[in-house]
Amino acid sequence: MAHNGAYQLPEDMVGLPVLVATPSDIGRLLRELESVENAMLQTELGGKQAAAPKLTSLMDQTVTMNKIDLTKPASRKAFQTFLTNLKKSAPVLHISFSADPTVPFMEKLVSWLRREIHPLVLVTVGLQPNLGAGCVVRSTNKYFDMSLRKNFANSRGILIAKLDEINGIPPVPAPAVVPSVATAGVPAQKVAA
């Protein structure tokens, strides 16, 4: 199931809903599945016909999307294995913004990442107010700074030149390199004497 180090989607699974986007969401699904398993076992031990318990919206979306029958022990076990493997080895991107992103924005971002990067990518969001605008994206082996702060730092010389031009300040010529005594052909020992 592993391909290039990342966990791949089992053939009988369609994927994850967009709202299941973080490693914490996978942990919640695992805990909920464990409580569903316990409820189903108690029902079966009582001699009653097992009925699916009330599910959270994240679990309901995931189960519906993948057509998982939680009343069947084999389906629950396969789903638990999928979630456990996903939690261990799904690709995770850490994205830092200067302010909390909105839910619709995160839905669009996760949808795009799953379509373009990996169908099971998970995202953790951090805050770095000093970014100004843009974001910083970090994976296990890559770092991308796409912030306004970084853009300004890279363009500092151009910005200063344009501000000087606007304010009528003539451009400062680059300092001329004056040859030192050692480069003029005089040995360094004679200079020290």
Neighbours of 85 (CB within 10 A): 16
Q: Select from 89, 110, 139 the last residue of a domain.
A: 89
* 170 domain residue, yes or no: no
Both 108 and 123 in one domain: the answer is: yes
pLDDT band at 118 (very low <50, low <70, confident <90, very high): confident
Per DSSP, which regions of the chain are E strands?
2-3, 6-7, 92-97, 122-127, 134-138, 143-147
Which pLDDT belongs to residue 67?
Answer: 87
Count: domains in the chain: 2
Tell if the pTM clears 0.85, that is, is over it.
no
Both 27 and 66 in one domain: the answer is: yes
Structure confidence by residue, pLDDT tens digits, 30-89: 999 998 888 888 777 766 665 566 888 888 888 888 888 888 888 888 888 888 988 888
Q: Select from 59, 89, 119 the last residue of a domain.
A: 89
- State both tokens at 62: 């995931």
Which pLDDT belongs to residue 1?
Answer: 35
Both 35 and 96 in one domain: the answer is: no
* 32 domain residue, yes or no: yes
What is the residue range of 99's domain?
Answer: 92-152
Contact criterion met (CB below 8 Å) for 121 and 89: no
* 134 domain residue, yes or no: yes
Q: Quick check: 189 pLDDT over 60?
A: no
